[in-house]
């Protein structure tokens, strides 16, 4: 596969798709005409949500003499090294603003793992934290049976037969900032890692900001008390361009006949995670 190269310029038209709807609704990101400033990024962060030091996005260039590693800088100072005019780090800042408690917890867990295992040895827990941080997608749903279909790669049921449910009692929330980066230039093969969360029906009556707040608190509980990211077993593949409204082509049911992208479940794959977590 050809190596992904993000767009060089900030082009708002790349943010027009349904995958960016939440960022545009909450932050009006698509109304920016050029790369957002650090002042703008820092204005998005609600410091009251942080249990540790307030988060501040700082130009990576200002920290070039730092000898501490990335996670340690964040944990000890609250400063998040952020590259200027960089899609990956821009979306990383968005996720910090949407999931502040979860991101702070992930940062602490990285530090705990590094203190225990060192920088060279990566534990299963740290690998799972990184995978979810980069590629994670939370899908909130009222029906646990739907999560089983996702894990079983029953794409016809998930994306075609259940299409009218998306946005009603099935709703995706991107956590992995690398997903957003690659969705600026989407390609067949683009896949995230889904974490299914069963919620009460009242969840869908909340406004979007409160839905993020609820999922943020839920994710913290799942990580701390249920070990949901102790390893990768709770995560399963999600073809991102199959999500309704995230790709114009998927309005045609035949789009999902591409088994190179919408792959069936391998029979010899043992899925240790059964169902979804009842959270809200």
Q: Does residue 103 share a domain with residue 157?
A: no
Q: pLDDT, tens digit, for every residue of 66-107? A: 999 999 999 999 999 999 999 999 999 999 999 999 999 999
For 160, residues 6+ apart whose C-beta sits below 8 A from its C-beta are 253, 256
Q: Does residue 161 share a domain with residue 95?
A: no
Q: pLDDT, tens digit, for every residue of 23-71? A: 999 999 999 999 999 999 999 986 444 445 689 999 999 998 899 999 9
Q: Which of 121, 154, 181 is the last residue of a domain?
A: 121
Instruction: Judge whether 30 lies within some domain.
Output: yes
Instruction: Please state, rounded to an integer, the average pLDDT across all residues of the chain.
Output: 92
Report how far residue 102's alpha carbon sits from residue 105's, in angstroms, rounded to the nearest whole number: 5
Radius of gyration over every alpha carbon of the chain, rounded to an integer in angstroms = 19
Given this model, what pLDDT does residue 17 score? Answer: 87
* Bridge partner residues of 172 (DSSP): 139
Report how far residue 182's alpha carbon sits from residue 190's, in angstroms, rounded to the nearest whole number: 8
Instruction: Judge whether 2 lies within some domain.
Output: no
Instruction: Judge whether 56 lies within some domain.
Output: yes
% the chain with pLDDT above 90: 85
Q: pLDDT, tens digit, for every residue of 147-182? A: 999 999 999 999 999 999 999 999 999 999 999 999
Residue 119 banded pLDDT, cuts 50, 70, 90? confident
Report how far residue 216's alpha carbon sits from residue 140's, in angstroms, rounded to the nearest whole number: 12
Q: Does residue 135 share a domain with residue 82?
A: no
Instruction: Judge whether 1 lies within some domain.
Output: no
Q: What is the domain extent for residue 29?
A: 13-121
Task: Give the chain's length.
Answer: 280
Residue 122 banded pLDDT, cuts 50, 70, 90? confident
Q: Does residue 80 share a domain with residue 58?
A: yes
Q: Does residue 162 share a domain with residue 262?
A: yes
Q: Does residue 79 share a domain with residue 152?
A: no
Q: Does residue 194 share a domain with residue 55?
A: no
Given this model, what pLDDT does residue 269 score? Answer: 46
Q: Which of 72, 94, 121 is the last residue of a domain?
A: 121
pTM of the model: 0.93
Q: Does residue 102 share a domain with residue 232?
A: no
Q: pLDDT, tens digit, for every residue of 105-115? A: 999 999 999 99
Instruction: Judge whether 5 lies within some domain.
Output: no
Q: Does residue 158 share a domain with residue 31?
A: no
Q: Does residue 71 share a domain with residue 20?
A: yes
Q: Does residue 158 share a domain with residue 65?
A: no
Residue 130 pLDDT > 80:
yes
Q: Which of 121, 148, 178 is the last residue of a domain?
A: 121
Provide the number of structural domains found in the chain.
2
Q: pLDDT, tens digit, for every residue of 214-223? A: 999 999 999 9
Q: Does residue 217 share a domain with residue 193?
A: yes
Q: Which two three-digit tokens encode residue 112?
A: 């705990």
């Amino acid at each position: 596969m050809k190596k992904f190269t993000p767009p060089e310029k900030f082009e708002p038209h790349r943010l027009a798709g349904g995958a960016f709807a939440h960022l545009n609704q909450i932050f009006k990101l698509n109304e920016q005409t050029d790369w957002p400033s650090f002042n703008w990024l820092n204005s998005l962060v609600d410091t009251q949500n942080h249990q540790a030091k307030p988060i501040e996005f700082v130009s990576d260039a200002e920290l070039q003499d730092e000898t501490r590693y990335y996670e340690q800088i964040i944990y000890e100072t609250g400063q998040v090294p952020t590259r200027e005019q960089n899609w990956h780090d821009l979306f990383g800042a968005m996720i910090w603003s949407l999931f502040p408690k979860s991101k702070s917890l992930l940062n602490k867990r990285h530090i705990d793992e590094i203190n225990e295992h060192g920088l060279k040895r990566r534990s299963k827990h740290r690998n799972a934290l990184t995978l979810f941080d980069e590629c994670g997608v939370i899908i909130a749903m009222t029906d646990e049976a739907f999560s089983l279909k996702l894990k079983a790669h029953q794409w016809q049921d998930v994306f075609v037969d259940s299409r009218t449910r998306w946005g009603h009692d099935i709703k995706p929330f991107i956590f992995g900032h690398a997903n957003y980066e690659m969705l600026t230039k989407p390609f067949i093969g683009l896949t995230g890692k889904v974490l299914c969360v069963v919620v009460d029906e009242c969840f869908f009556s909340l406004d979007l900001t409160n839905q993020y707040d609820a999922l943020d608190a839920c994710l913290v509980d799942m990580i701390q008390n249920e070990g949901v990211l102790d390893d990768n077993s709770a995560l399963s593949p999600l073809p991102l361009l199959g999500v309704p409204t995230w790709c114009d082509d998927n309005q045609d049911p035949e789009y999902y006949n591409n088994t190179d992208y919408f792959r069936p479940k391998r029979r010899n794959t043992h899925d240790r995670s059964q169902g979804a977590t009842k959270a809200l």
